[in-house]
Amino acid sequence: MIEKSKHLFERAQQSIPGGVNSPVRAFKSVGGTPLFIKKAKGAYLYDADDNRYIDYIASWGPMILGHAHDEVVKAIQEQALSSTSYGAPTELEIEMAELIISMVPNVDLIRMVSSGTEACMSAIRLARGYTGKNKIIKFEGCYHGHADSFLVKAGSGVATLNIQTVPGVTAGVANDTLTCAYNDLAAVEQLVEENKNQIAAIIVEPVAGNMGCILPQPGFLEGLRRICDKENIVFIFDEVMTGFRLAPGGAQEKLHVNADLVTYGKVIGGGMPVGAFGGKKEIMQHIAPLGNVYQAGTLSGNPIAMIAGYTTLKILKDHPHIYHELEEKTIYLRDNLHRVFLETKIPFVINQFGSMISVHFSNHAVNDFGSAASANNELFKKYFHAMLQRGIYLPPSAFESWFLNNVLTKEDLDNTIEATRESLSEIL
């Protein structure tokens, strides 16, 4: 029973476009009523009708330690007593920057912002300002937030809603964004050759999470690194999803590939609105006030956001076994879902990396946007709703990754596996 959510959704649509403050929440591609959430604790969400769900969205990634983690909540409460914003520098921002630099490779300087979108948008501006070139290369199905430059063949909500061209993005901006299929190194080489000395940056999700979870093929990221070195292109890792999730040093550490600039969001804020971009001093010193590449924010480095992020990152740094546990849980889920899906004989692909995982109903490998989009997404919708009815909260789109949190128990995972068995027997 979700009567209260239904009522709230109707009411929300009177005052909020589509009833939601971010399109993927609207359940538009899976249909039905989005759940209105009242509270969450640990691995569980509770909706307005008091139904409990095992949460595999984790606020789209940030809640890696589970919801309302005691230490994080306490730190926020204590900071709030000293005001929620100053718009002036604080020692806490230095501690946050020093902590990040101690955890991740190749970051000499880091600038805090308030979202992953801002981080990626600023990194691109910086790459352009630094190189004096205008064009960028991004990959089809990758999503780097909603700044104009990135809304070209984007994943996540843009793919979910099947928006081919985003009105409001000028042709001039769109023309400076070149795209290739993910994992297609030869296409990148060709594009770079055709646009000699015009490419400022290549931006990539080192493990893509906005078309389901898509793994980089061996040699793909290393090949991009080589191209960037040869052609004086700034190599940007969008680690908004992977940063502090795959390892303390994110995908750079886990995959042993260095980027020139890295963008962060999600986990870095411990559930508060935080993003960051950082990298080599040689590039970062072009940012104002050191250089003329302007970037600013009234709430950047906000003390509540900083303390939530700092407390979360410190826990992750001091307890690196969390990453092993998370990966073990995700592999357990993957292997058991695999077993259950196999019994049904329907085609399926489960991609998993660290604590990111997704299911596509496909009879071919899913390693780029084309293969993700050609999967049976009608079946995904049925699977999604059957799981939801059984108390399992999956992303409402096949173009999103699931994110595990560290307080999921074996019982939660077993319930999820059993719910999948029941769901598949109901919908097939």
Site for ligand HOZ in 117-176 (CB under 6 A): 143, 156-157
E-only strand ranges, 210-354: 234-238, 261-264, 275-279, 349-353
Place of tokens 């000293």: 82
Query: For the stretch 292-329, what's the b/e string if a residue is b when 16 or more beta carbons lie within 10 angstroms of its beta carbon?
Result: ebebebebbbbbbbbbbbbbbbbbbeeeeebbeebbeb
CB 232 within 8 A of CB 206: no
Q: How far is the CB of 88 from ligand HOZ (least distance, A)?
A: 30
6 is annotated as an active-site residue? no
Q: Rounded to whole angstroms, how far apart are CA atoms 28 and 8?
A: 16
Count CB atoms within 10 A of the CB of residue 422: 14
Run of H or E residues at 53: strand 52-55
Q: How far is the CB of 243 from ligand HOZ (least distance, A)?
A: 13
How many residues line the site for ligand HOZ (CB under 6 A)? 8
Looking at 176, 239, 327, 400, which residue binds ligand HOZ (CB under 6 A)? 400
User: Helix or strand or coil: residue 166?
Assistant: coil
Q: How far is the CB of 142 from ligand HOZ (least distance, A)?
A: 10
Count CB atoms within 10 A of the CB of residue 272: 18
Site for ligand HOZ in 36-95 (CB under 6 A): 60
In this complex, which beta carbon is closest to ligand HOZ, that of residue 144 or of residue 329?
144
Q: Interface mask (CB under 6 A) for ligand HOZ, residues 2-41, using x and -?
A: --------------------x-x-----------------
Q: How far is the CB of 261 from ligand HOZ (least distance, A)?
A: 19
Q: Rounded to whole angstroms, how far apart are CA atoms 89 and 288?
A: 15
* Binding of residue 210 to ligand HOZ (CB under 6 A): yes
In this complex, which beta carbon is closest to ligand HOZ, that of residue 143 or of residue 348?
143
Full DSSP string of 333-392: HHHHHHHHHHHHT---EEEEETTEEEEE--SS---SHHHHHTS-HHHHHHHHHHHHHTTE
229 is annotated as an active-site residue? no
Q: Kindly name the residue from 44, 143, 310, 323 that is annotated as catalytic.
A: 143
CB 160 within 8 A of CB 212: no
In this complex, which beta carbon is closest to ligand HOZ, that of residue 106 or of residue 210?
210
Q: Kindly name the residue from 133, 135, 153, 266 that is annotated as catalytic.
A: 266
Q: What share of the chain is helix, strand, coil (3-state, %, to 5)?
A: 45, 15, 40
What's phi and psi for 49, nearest 5 deg?
-95, 10
143 is annotated as an active-site residue? yes
Q: How far is the CB of 22 from ligand HOZ (least distance, A)?
A: 3
Q: How far is the CB of 67 from ligand HOZ (least distance, A)?
A: 17
In this complex, which beta carbon is closest to ligand HOZ, that of residue 293 or of residue 394?
394
In this complex, which beta carbon is closest to ligand HOZ, that of residue 157 or of residue 249?
157
Q: Kindly name the residue from 238, 260, 368, 412 that is annotated as catalytic.
A: 238
Q: Rounded to whole angstroms, how far apart are CA atoms 231 and 348?
A: 39
Residue of closest CB approach to ligand HOZ: 22
In this complex, which beta carbon is closest to ligand HOZ, that of residue 16 or of residue 186?
16
* Active site residue ranges: 143, 238, 266
Contacting residues toward ligand HOZ, per CB under 6 A:
22, 24, 60, 143, 156-157, 210, 400
